[in-house]
Homo-oligomer: A and B are copies of this chain.
Amino acid sequence: MSIEISERMQNLKPSAIREMLKVTADPSVISFSAGNPSAELFPVEKLAEITASIYAREAATALQYSITEGYGPLRELTKQRYRKYGIGTDEDDLIICSGGQQGIDLAVKCLVNEGDTIICENPSFIGALNTFRSYNAKLVGIPMDRDGMDISALEDALRREKNVRLIYTIPTFQNPAGVTMCMERRKKLLELAEKYDVIILEDSPYFELSFSGEIIKPIKTLDTSGHVVYLGSFSKIIAPGIRIGFVCGPKWLVSKMTVAKQIADVHTNMVFMMVVAKMLESYDMDAHIAKCRDLYSRKCALMLGEMDKLFDKRVSYTKPEGGLFLWCDLPEGYPSLPMCALAQKRKVAVVPGMTFDVNESTENRGFRLNFSVPTPEQIKTGIGRVAQSITDYLKPEN
């Protein structure tokens, strides 16, 4: 047999993190590698009650084929909820998709030809990077500092690169870096997108998980020219297993993304589109989100405190103001891969920066830590093990 995999998929590997999920099934391993929300926060009782009422009253609708755009009341309630933040105008439309990941796929499918360029933060979300690779796009990574994407490096790239079709960004509590783009840069980013006529794909699954409760305005709220496609998700504020997200963007583009969705999966799971609609209608989502924020804020503070105590002082790390992740950098000359391997021997899983590196560089000195999943005890024990692995790896200071 001489059948070959298509060119676009030939070199694409499974996400190292999702593969790691299989390793961390070992219960003696402490995992800081997931991107999961904390299961203790799932509003199980309410979901169960709503699901039962849907079976009782609207089963035929819930179990039958639906339109591709998604369940009407869910679209309407989602629009209403996010309009309050300033997301979406009358020129925009909103459709439901099967998690935020599908929104990335649909946007790329509709906007990017093979060989076109996509600009993104470096490091960035591996699920997005692999989607870009699967369309044979050229990836250009822009470095970040504590205030997000380096805007002058972005402008250089926009000036230099041909056929830039997308700027992908996770501006708030970025995955993996845990940093947030400041408002000045958000404005500047939008100006550049308008100047170079490029769509911004704003991936925003975490912005409501702000530790202080203060919401940093998404870039979409500044968009008056229709240059921003906003991706939202219920994964981190309800539950990820149900795979419900949404896309809000210019009508001409969202209608084409709907065609792309039709041939991807026809429509999203109908029962759970109805469940989420009823959640938005009858559950105090803001109180629930406040609970999530509170728990993650405490876990993050605990993790940072342990790191301050135990990590070699040459290691630097971000201090996130929300979300699920923080990012550490080993000192110059120390790629993180060998340290992550040492940590794995000590039964603690952390994700090497190379995984999120646009260029997949083995020289990457970073690693990502998740604080939403582990218990306080696991955070204490696990950070001790990571600290020990770092000590084993770094040569003593002169």
Chain A interfacial positions (CB closer than 8 Å to B): 1-3, 5-9, 12-15, 18, 21-22, 34-36, 39, 42, 44, 47-48, 51-52, 55-56, 59-68, 98-99, 101-102, 104-105, 109-114, 127, 130-131, 134, 165, 197-199, 225-227, 235, 239-243, 253, 256, 258-260, 262-272
CB neighbours of A264 from chain B (8 A): 101-102, 105, 264-265
Query: Are A266 and B243 in contact, CB atoms less than 8 angstroms apart?
Result: yes
Number of copies: 2
Closest 8 A-B residue pairs measured CB to CB? A241-B270, A63-B239, A48-B55, A39-B60, A269-B269, A98-B265, A44-B59, A131-B263
Alpha-carbon distance between A2 and B165 when the two chains are bound, in angstroms: 11
CB neighbours of A260 from chain B (8 A): 9, 12, 134
Residue in B closest to A108 when the chains form the complex, CB atoms: B6
Alpha-carbon distance between A197 and B1 when the two chains are bound, in angstroms: 6
Query: Are B65 and A42 in contact, CB atoms less than 8 angstroms apart?
Result: no
Question: Can you identify 29 A-B contacts, CB atoms within 8 angstroms?
Answer: A1-B227, A2-B197, A3-B198, A6-B112, A8-B113, A12-B263, A13-B259, A15-B262, A18-B262, A21-B65, A21-B67, A34-B65, A39-B63, A42-B59, A44-B63, A47-B59, A48-B59, A51-B51, A61-B241, A63-B239, A63-B242, A64-B239, A65-B240, A98-B98, A98-B269, A130-B263, A240-B266, A242-B269, A271-B272
Tell me the minimal C-beta distance from A120 to chain B in angstroms.
14
CB neighbours of A104 from chain B (8 A): 263
Query: Are B1 and A226 in contact, CB atoms less than 8 angstroms apart?
Result: yes
CB neighbours of A198 from chain B (8 A): 3
Tell me the minimal C-beta distance from A105 to chain B in angstroms.
5
Query: Are A111 and B239 in contact, CB atoms less than 8 angstroms apart?
Result: no
Query: Are B258 and A271 in contact, CB atoms less than 8 angstroms apart?
Result: no
Tell me the minimal C-beta distance from A49 to chain B in angstroms.
9
Q: Which of B18, B36, B113 contacts A64 (CB 8 A)?
A: B36
CB neighbours of A65 from chain B (8 A): 21, 34-36, 235, 240-241
Residue in B closest to A43 when the chains form the complex, CB atoms: B63
> Which of A110, A198, A262 has its CB near the most chain B CB atoms (within 10 A)?
A262
Query: Are A67 and B22 in contact, CB atoms less than 8 angstroms apart?
Result: yes
> Which of A264, A267, A272 has its CB near the most chain B CB atoms (within 10 A)?
A264
Residue in B closest to A110 when the chains form the complex, CB atoms: B9
> Which of A13, A62, A241 has its CB near the most chain B CB atoms (within 10 A)?
A241
Alpha-carbon distance between A230 and B199 when the two chains are bound, in angstroms: 38
Query: Are A18 and B67 in contact, CB atoms less than 8 angstroms apart?
Result: yes
Q: Given A101-B263, A105-B264, decide whether A48 and B44 contact each other with a Cβ distance below 8 A.
A: no
Alpha-carbon distance between A260 and B5 when the two chains are bound, in angstroms: 11
CB neighbours of A67 from chain B (8 A): 18, 21-22
